[in-house]
């Protein structure tokens, strides 16, 4: 188990290779809960074009799917983010704030259950997500991309149904607010950097 203040990475694995890497600071790591802090301005690794330029979200899912192969430098930008993941669960709940800590909402990232590695945690994104506003209204995110992922053979219809069912279970349990909305990091924590060996699966 990791200790509070330890610096690790969350990696997203695609086709047997690392596709996203996000350095984080451990807040809590317990048998029943894993809480990680992703600081605004954190250097990351993400899919890029052959020339190293970012792949914009304005491209269709099919275009991004075909380009997903090379990983280059990225940055988390202006969001303070807390990642709350129950071990064994196929989702993670993210709390988003602006850089000066104005709360903007909750994001349910549907993903494969995390596995531990020597440098942190690995998972795989499952495309469909849920966004919950501060007023507790919610909506699905990227339903069209999940349909594209089925069409392109990334997920079978049964796998996609299981992904949606996981989201429906989170909504039925309704863990909002989470109790972490007033949390703030230790001001002495540095922004974590990418560790040696981040690319090795």
Quote the CA–CA distance of 22 and 89 in Å, as a whole number.
19
Summarize the confidence of residues 64-82 as an average pLDDT: 88
133-153 per-position pLDDT tens digit: 999 999 999 999 999 999 999
pLDDT at 122 over 90: yes
44-69 per-position pLDDT tens digit: 999 888 888 888 878 888 888 777 66
Quote the CA–CA distance of 112 and 168 in Å, as a whole number.
16
Whether 141 sits among the annotated catalytic residues: the reply is yes
Q: Is residue 18 a contact partner of residue 130, using CB atoms and an 8 Å limit?
A: no
Which residue in 22, 45, 141, 154 is the catalytic one? 141
Predicted confidence at residue 136, as pLDDT, reads 98
User: What CATH superfamily is the domain 7-173?
Assistant: FomD-like (2.40.380.10)
Summarize the confidence of residues 175-185 as an average pLDDT: 98
Of residues 70, 81, 71, 82, the one with CA closest to residue 28: 82
Element (H, E) at 72: strand 71-75
7-40 per-position pLDDT tens digit: 999 999 988 899 999 999 999 999 999 999 999 9
Predicted confidence at residue 52, as pLDDT, reads 83
User: What are the distances in angstroms from CA 132 to CA 113, 139, 174?
Assistant: 21, 7, 10
The pTM of this model reads 0.94
């Amino acid at each position: 188990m990791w200790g509070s203040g330890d610096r690790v990475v969350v990696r997203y694995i695609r086709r047997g290779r690392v596709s996203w890497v996000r350095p984080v600071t451990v807040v809590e790591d317990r048998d029943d809960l894993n809480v990680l802090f992703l600081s605004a301005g954190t250097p990351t690794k993400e899919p890029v074009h052959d020339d190293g330029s970012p792949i914009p979200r304005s491209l269709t899912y099919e275009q991004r799917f075909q380009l997903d192969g090379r990983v280059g430098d990225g940055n988390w930008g202006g969001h303070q983010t807390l990642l709350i993941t129950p071990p064994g669960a196929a989702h993670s709940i993210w709390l988003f704030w602006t850089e000066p800590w104005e709360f903007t909402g909750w994001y349910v990232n549907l993903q494969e259950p995390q596995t531990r590695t020597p440098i942190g945690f690995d998972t795989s994104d499952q495309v469909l997500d849920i966004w919950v506003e501060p007023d507790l209204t919610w909506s699905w995110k990227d339903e069209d991309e999940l349909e594209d992922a089925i069409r392109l053979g990334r997920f079978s219809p049964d796998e996609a149904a299981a992904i949606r069912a996981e989201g429906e279970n989170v909504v039925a349990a309704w863990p909002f607010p989470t109790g972490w909305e007033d949390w703030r990091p230790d001001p002495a924590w540095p922004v974590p950097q990418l560790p040696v060996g981040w690319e090795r699966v």
